[in-house]
Amino acid sequence: MTRRILIPSLILLAILAFAVSSAAASSLTDNGAPSHEAILVPGNYCISCHQADDPRLASVTEWKGAIGRDVNSPCPAATTIHEELVYTERLMLMIDRSQQSVGALTEKSQARLDGYTQRYSRILDAPVTSLDAFVSEAQTTRYQLNKIYTALNDLADTTKKQTVLIYAVLVTLVVLGSLAWGLYNTRMVKSGSGKRKSGLTSVLIILIVLGLFTLPIFRVPAAEVTVTTVEQQEAQAVLDTADRAATTSDRAQARAWMLARLAAKWNATDPAQAQAILDESLAALAQVDGNDTALWGQSLAVQEAMIGVPIDMEKADLVAVDVNAARARLWSLPLIAIEWNAVDPVRAAVLLQSEQDRIESETGIYRDLQMRGVALAWNEIQPSNAVTAARSIEDASIRVWTLRELGKFDLAADAARQVSDPVQRARALREVAAASGDKQLFDEALSALDGVSGESLAYALSDLAAASGDASLVGKIDAAYPEAKTAALLYLGEFQSAWDASLAIADPYEQARAQAAIAAAWENAEAATQIQAPLYRDLALRDVIRKSGNASLVDSIQSPYYRVQALTALGEYAAAAELAGQLVNSYPLMELAAALAKTDPQSALALVDEMSSEADKAGALRALATKDPSLFEQAQGMALAARVQGDALAPSVALTNLADAFWTINLSDAESALRQAYEAVLRIAVK
């Protein structure tokens, strides 16, 4: 069995949707990358841009500073992920403030809010396997949270109306009292005929006064009606079609790559079938390449459809960028060559050479990204060709990133010095210094920042301080950016100073996220309990428990989501299982079921019924089936059902993971899972 066959599928997906970016080799902050953010668009899988075994890819949702850091982030996918987190936290902050002004929610509404908060906790916890899936989950969470916010606003409006009505009645009573006092003193007011004024007139006057004061609370604003013309509908249809075309192109490449992976695995037992599937993979890739003309037509169509209206033209330009990016990148062929290298190195080299020859004559940043993929693939197939391919990369930032990962640090340092943007040049030099151990490059990185100011300088200094271990750089960070200073101190291990710096962060949720990261790294339960946001207080306590094993802290955790995880980490499986009924999101039960599978399979199987997600069930049943092979068919069926919105590969990955788990247990079952994974891949829509 080859090393490739043993690598888990989820790792090959790279657990992070960093995608087509010129420099996200080491998550959000640790990249030597170009300043081309405006023209780069994120793909769906990080494997289209990253090495699958990059150890830092899993840190994309970790706190490393405020959203301002992403102004100079070289990875558009990482920026998108952080934006989704910020949008969700802003809504949660609005809910908190509404609760403070209105009061506690009803028991039913509070239970719903707790459930939606658990869903957000899952977003923070779960590995990111697909950018589209992450965005979809975050948007769904906000949609649900918005229902709570709307209910709070309705309650606030009702309270305001009641207050206005009370004041209106009081004012009316004052007017009525004044009228009564006047009538009492004048005794009688005679009209021209000498008759007493009718009491009905007085009542009408009182009602008019009351109506004037209460009118605002009864007035219903007219609904705003937006009329969409036929031309606008047609233009939107063009945009939607183009957007789907770009998404389909990326999905087709993922499908071709997955076929190659399955072929490489199948070769161990059925070489003829493996060759046939590889041919299917290459044919699928040829079809993607053949769609270039159609995508080009879609790019022109969206721009022509929106001519004349500035805001619509801007929207069209964004869609056109997506479509053109889909045209320009053919990221899966180097990955296919890597997969096939374990089976037939000669053919793998031929495939890779043909790809290099194809893109040699192209231009632009996506050409350089594709050449980077070729260089990294050569490093696994024929290392002697890797540097030549890397040196042909025109963009200095992509070249330094590639050479650094090839271990050619002198060449990488020379390329880093050629990066024009000072912030990106400092980033590139810093990364080469960290990888090579050449501390002189840290000094060059600092010099590159001369003339840089504002938030860009603050975060550049923050990253440089953390990478170099030079705490003196923290003092150069402007006090106007406490998030950057806090991040530097955190990653320098100066936890008390980091905590003190975090107190200056104005945004409550940003402060809470920073303090949760500090408390966890510090293993400081006292600090964790001081965090104001309940979500992050519980998260920090869970992390402290995981690291310290302090069981006395469990009772301080309010959220059943984090309490189950804390109890599981402590090995108190029975206590954790008792809380399963309180969970709205079943993600913590995956870890619990996997742990119970080793000691109490029946209890673990019972937990599967408590899970709400097929993907969670598939993971738990895979762990159970390795202990009790009679559960294989049930695990296989659930893996096939493990569909995730935005991630077309999810079922085939789950089935491939199951096949890997059974490769040494029952070869027949493993082949059955592979066969079903193959069928699942063929069902991926690519038209």
For the beta carbon of residue 71, count every other beta carbon within 10 angstroms: 13
Tell me: the pLDDT tens digits for 574-586? 999 999 989 999 9
Residue type for position 182: G
The pair of structure tokens assigned to 301 is 């169509």
| pLDDT of 515 higher than 50 | yes
What burial letters (b/e) apply to 504-542, b meaning 16+ CB within 10 Å? ebebbbbbbbbbbbbbbbbbbbebbeebebebbbbbbbb
The count of residues in the chain is: 687
Which residue bears the tokens 């910020």? 86
Q: How confident is the model at residue 342 (pLDDT cuts 50, 70, 90)?
A: confident
The pLDDT, as a whole number, for residue 33 is 39
Contact 14, 43 (CB under 8 A): no
Task: Let me know if 12 is exposed, middle or buried by CB neighbors in 10 A (0-12, 13-18, 19+).
Answer: buried
pTM of the model: 0.83
Tell me: the pLDDT tens digits for 125-181? 998 888 889 999 999 999 999 999 988 888 877 777 777 677 767 766 776 677 667
Q: How confident is the model at residue 249 (pLDDT cuts 50, 70, 90)?
A: confident
Q: In the chain, count of helices (H) and strands (E)?
A: 32, 0
Alpha helices in 187-270 (DSSP H): 199-218, 230-266
Q: How confident is the model at residue 77 (pLDDT cuts 50, 70, 90)?
A: confident
Q: How confident is the model at residue 44 (pLDDT cuts 50, 70, 90)?
A: confident
Tell me the C-alpha to C-alpha distance, in Å, between residue 315 and each of 163, 307, 671.
45, 11, 47
Check the CA dihedral 377-380-385-388 and report its sign: positive
The pLDDT, as a whole number, for residue 100 is 86
The pair of structure tokens assigned to 60 is 């994309």
Map out the domains of the chain as residue ranges.
3-154, 158-218
How far is the C-alpha of 402 from the C-alpha of 385, rounded, in Å?
A: 13
In 3D, which of 490, 471, 433 has the Cα closest to residue 32?
A: 433
Report the C-alpha dihedral over residues 669, 672, 678, 682, rounded to 10 degrees.
-140
Please give the angle made by the CA atoms of 350, 355 and 359, to the nearest 5 degrees. 150
Tell me: the pLDDT tens digits for 218-236? 565 665 666 665 655 655 5
The pLDDT, as a whole number, for residue 168 is 66
The more confident residue out of 454 and 686 is 454
Tell me: the pLDDT tens digits for 326-337? 555 678 889 999
For 192, the 3-state DSSP assignment is coil
Q: How confident is the model at residue 14 (pLDDT cuts 50, 70, 90)?
A: very low
For the beta carbon of residue 229, count every other beta carbon within 10 angstroms: 8
Contact 148, 109 (CB under 8 A): yes
The angle, 0 to 180 degrees and rounded to 10, between the axes of the packed helices 365-381 and 332-341 is 0
Contact 295, 326 (CB under 8 A): yes
Task: Let me know if 399 is exposed, middle or buried by CB neighbors in 10 A (0-12, 13-18, 19+).
Answer: buried
Mean pLDDT of the chain: 82
Share of the chain above pLDDT 70, in %: 76
Residue type for position 178: S
The pLDDT, as a whole number, for residue 298 is 52
Contact 319, 305 (CB under 8 A): no
Contact 101, 155 (CB under 8 A): no
Rounded to an integer, the average pLDDT of 295-316 is 53
Tell me the C-alpha to C-alpha distance, in Å, between residue 627 and each of 94, 444, 673.
47, 55, 17
The pLDDT, as a whole number, for residue 174 is 73
Q: How confident is the model at residue 46 (pLDDT cuts 50, 70, 90)?
A: confident
The pLDDT, as a whole number, for residue 36 is 37
For the chain, the C-alpha Rg in angstroms (whole number) is 31
The pLDDT, as a whole number, for residue 143 is 94
| pLDDT of 492 higher than 50 | yes
What burial letters (b/e) apply to 86-104, b meaning 16+ CB within 10 Å? bebbebbbbbbebbeebee
The pair of structure tokens assigned to 145 is 């949270």
Tell me the C-alpha to C-alpha distance, in Å, between residue 116 and each of 110, 148, 567, 608, 616.
10, 9, 22, 21, 18
Residue type for position 57: L
| pLDDT of 560 higher than 80 | yes
In 3D, which of 313, 293, 303 has the Cα closest to residue 249?
A: 293
How far is the C-alpha of 621 from the C-alpha of 436, rounded, in Å?
A: 43
The pLDDT, as a whole number, for residue 37 is 36
Q: How confident is the model at residue 71 (pLDDT cuts 50, 70, 90)?
A: confident
The pair of structure tokens assigned to 252 is 């087709």
Tell me: the pLDDT tens digits for 401-450? 999 999 999 999 999 999 999 999 999 999 999 999 999 999 999 999 99
How far is the C-alpha of 12 from the C-alpha of 261, rounded, in Å?
A: 10
| Percentages of the chain per state (helix, strand, coil), in multiples of 5 | 75, 0, 25
How far is the C-alpha of 415 from the C-alpha of 179, rounded, in Å?
A: 89
